[in-house]
Structure 1
Amino acid sequence: MAKTRVLISGASVAGPALAHFLQRVGYDVTVVERAPAVRDSGYAVDFRGPAFDVLDEMGILDEVRGLDTGMRGVVLVDGTGAETGRLPAEVFAGELEVPKRELTRILHRITADDVEYVFGDSISTLTPRDSGFAVEFEGGGPREFDLVIGADGLYSKVRQLAFGPHTDTVRHLGMSGAGFSAPNHLGLDRVGVLQQAEGAAVYLFSAGDPDRLTVSLSFATASAALDRRSRGEQEAAVRDAFGRHGWEVPRLLDAMAEADDFYFASAGQVHLDSWSRGRVALVGDAGYCAAPTSGMGTSQALIGARVLAGQLADSGGDHAAAFAAYEARLRPYVTENQAKGREAALVFGGGAMPVS
């Protein structure tokens, strides 16, 4: 009997995790990723609650624990840099925090021998067939797959092709931010510094590399339109939002222009009546992003991947039943996390969460 052929779009966290579980139960899995290689971007990801069970089931829990950034907490400062309070590490770092690039490397390593990876490419069209899809890629001709899974983030190409435009599914939470690295001139060591003002926040931390300062400059925005603008336009918006701030901000704005890892993103959530349509399903941020303010993105991705793979394995080949069971089991958890994301966005009043 031929193996079920599954195409997964996205090789960050949800995609490789799902690939790992599916290939273990006999699926023929291909992962396509727009980036030319395993992504080396992103700052830190954290794990909470049931996500540890998933890491343990994958056999990587001890390895991931060994990469703990060891964050010791966050210092709150006023507009002059004077300390006004402290927050425990768990607020931003969860129960365990590791560099995102290390997690993606581990997930790729444990799947590379049994999963086909196609880097530097993306899905361009999905054409339904009687028992699957003819998939056209931007870099090549069509291939046939039985199932297609979108694990490609907030602005998922799979979701756009199968469910409709992003404007119908992505809800902006009123904040955007720039992230980048700078020299650690403050000498921070496994500690964060947070300065909040009305409608804006500066968050700095150093973990892992004592010479590197990770910077997040978040501010209130009416829409996510800046996500689709050029870096120059994004930097201009950041300067406009922070141009009147004192303390270390002028120096940070100068460093932003020199950063080779500049990243800009808006806080948003994905809301869908259903996470599947026919032979297409979504996992992680592509289907139910809870926003960075929730602190649950990585945990949701891992748990969603395990639940989806488990339902497919138990379905006896009935993908529709598997997709329905996956959603029924996971949606209450996602609904709770999305509520946390919205509440945190309101509390932070326009930005205190690092983009990643």
Structure 2
Amino acid sequence: MQRTALISGAGIAGTTAAYWLARHGWQTTIVERAAGLRSSGNPVDVRGPALPVADRMGILPSLRALATHARGIRVLDPGGRPIARLPMGSDDGDVEIMRGDLAGVLWSAARDDTELIVDDTITAMDQDADGVDVTFERSAPRRFDLVIGGDGLHSAVRRIAFGPEPGFSEFLGLYVATVQFGGPPANPDEVELLNVPGRLLALHPARGEAGAAFIFRHPELTAADRRDTAAQQRVITKAYRGVGWRVPEILDRLREADDIYFDAVVRVRLDSWTRGRITLLGDAASCVSLFGDGSTLAIAGAHRLATALAGSPADPRAALRRYEAEHRKLTTPKQRRVHLAATLLVPAHRLTLATRNTVARVLSRA
């Protein structure tokens, strides 16, 4: 009998897992809370351990065709004057791509062998030694051999199987918001990066339409404010009030937008990613990434999960233990360095910012 897997979340982790599980003989189903596959998102990177996975999937040419146009980062002072220019990319073939484009390419690779259920979510799971009985919000209940939570930072699978989010989520004092700025970028080949203490603004050229990203330090917000677009706009406007350069213009665009991405920067840590036949993948298991590594880790982790299951078809629990032990070798160092990453990206104090900019100047000259 063919083994069945339910994957929660049609993002990077979920679609990659569906592709590789199908290649190993699994019948895969993805359930996605949104009414359709999302087309928006920030620039993310496919590099390091994700590159050979993408190559084996045959999608690298498509990813390179959709890559962003950014070739460097221009660091600016508060007046918008350039401080340093740092190259982007590497000799290893790294690809920077918009998250929505990456998700679309991955879904195109997986779709022929994957059932997709949209506008639905898991509400309950009851497992025994042989499988998991799953209850959905809209669809009829079904039974699966395995359930994979690839549903991101606010994972429903994690909440149901492991417990409430606050038990695993550590707020790191930062919020991130992104919005499409509209129109062509002023510098089509460069990311423009402006810092003042505790606040960062980046303008990214993407693929011909500029996007703005705000990353800023702020006390933790209430759950209601995190979900309310008007409250988000007020918080961002207040945080960036008085910052020069193009900030007033970008805040005007922000106040008109209804497509803002807004969330806290947190670190998700669990002692184990697995409960019986239920396991976690991607940000649901081990979020945090401030430098675009989340997609790389999701692709690599999904491939490692499918490979482990293929190696122990009669003992999925052993396979899940092996997947976790191996993939933690990649995620744990990233999590340990998150505070350093936050300090480099959004220095909290003038002296720290001046030191970071001095290092950027030296690297730029080199």
Shift of 1:99: 1.9
CA contact (8 A) 1:175 1:350 kept: no
Aligned residue pairs total 346
Aligned CA-pair RMSD: 1.9
Report the equivalent of 1:336. Answer: 333
3-state DSSP of counterpart to 1:141: coil
Report the equivalent of 2:272. Answer: 274
Task: Give the letter aligned to residue 172 of structure 1.
Answer: F
CA contact (8 A) 1:176 1:224 kept: no
2:300 is aligned with 1:303? yes
Shift of 1:184: 4.0
Task: Give the letter aligned to residue 5 of structure 2.
Answer: V
Q: Deviations over 1:128-185 (max 9, x none)?
A: 2442122111112311111110000011110111111110111122210221012347
Report the equivalent of 2:344. Answer: 347
Report the equivalent of 1:121. Answer: 120
CA distance in 2, matches of 1:225, 1:270: 19
3-state DSSP of counterpart to 1:189: coil
Task: Give the letter aligned to residue 221 of structure 1.
Answer: H
Shift of 1:234: 0.8
CA contact (8 A) 1:184 1:206 kept: no
Shift of 1:186: 5.8
CA contact (8 A) 1:126 1:161 kept: yes
Matches within 5 A, 1:37-48: 37-48=36-47
3-state DSSP of counterpart to 1:208: coil
CA distance in 2, matches of 1:270, 1:34: 21
3-state DSSP of counterpart to 1:113: helix
> Percent same amino acid among aligned pairs?
38
Report the equivalent of 2:283. Answer: 285
Shift of 1:26: 0.8
Report the equivalent of 2:246. Answer: 248
Report the equivalent of 1:232. Answer: 230
- TM normalised by structure 1 equals 0.92
Report the equivalent of 1:159. Answer: 158
3-state DSSP of counterpart to 2:31: strand
Report the equivalent of 2:203. Answer: 204
CA distance in 1, matches of 2:42, 2:138: 29
CA contact (8 A) 2:69 2:205 kept: no
Matches within 5 A, 1:107-146: 107-146=106-145
3-state DSSP of counterpart to 1:158: helix
Q: Deviations over 1:287-339 (max 9, x none)?
A: 01122x14310110000001000000110321110011111111121111222
CA distance in 2, matches of 1:97, 1:289: 19
Shift of 1:115: 0.8
Report the equivalent of 2:167. Answer: 168
CA distance in 1, matches of 2:19, 2:36: 18
CA distance in 2, matches of 1:127, 1:42: 34
Q: Deviations over 1:259-311 (max 9, x none)?
A: 242111221121010110111001111101122x1431011000000100000
Shift of 1:90: 3.5
Q: Deviations over 1:95-151 (max 9, x none)?
A: 211122221111111211111000111111112244212211111231111111000
2:101 is aligned with 1:102? yes
| CA distance 1:186–1:17, shift in 2 (3 Å) | closer
CA contact (8 A) 1:182 1:259 kept: no
2:327 is aligned with 1:324? no
Shift of 1:243: 1.3
CA contact (8 A) 2:78 2:194 kept: yes
| CA distance 1:67–1:229, shift in 2 (3 Å) | closer
Report the equivalent of 1:188. Answer: 187
Q: Structure 2: where are the runs of 5+ without partners? A: 354-366
CA distance in 2, matches of 1:49, 1:168: 31
CA distance in 2, matches of 1:39, 1:114: 20
CA contact (8 A) 2:77 2:194 kept: yes
Task: Give the letter aligned to residue 140 of structure 1.
Answer: S
Task: Give the letter aligned to residue 73 of structure 1.
Answer: G
CA distance in 2, matches of 1:190, 1:106: 23
CA distance in 1, matches of 2:64, 2:185: 27
Shift of 1:52: 0.6
- TM normalised by structure 2 equals 0.90
Q: Structure 1: where are the runs of 5+ without partners? A: none
CA distance in 1, matches of 2:250, 2:58: 40
CA contact (8 A) 1:14 1:284 kept: yes
CA contact (8 A) 1:33 1:121 kept: yes
3-state DSSP of counterpart to 1:195: strand
CA contact (8 A) 2:51 2:94 kept: no
CA distance in 1, matches of 2:23, 2:232: 43
Q: Deviations over 1:23-82 (max 9, x none)?
A: 111111110001111211102211221211000111112221222213121111111111
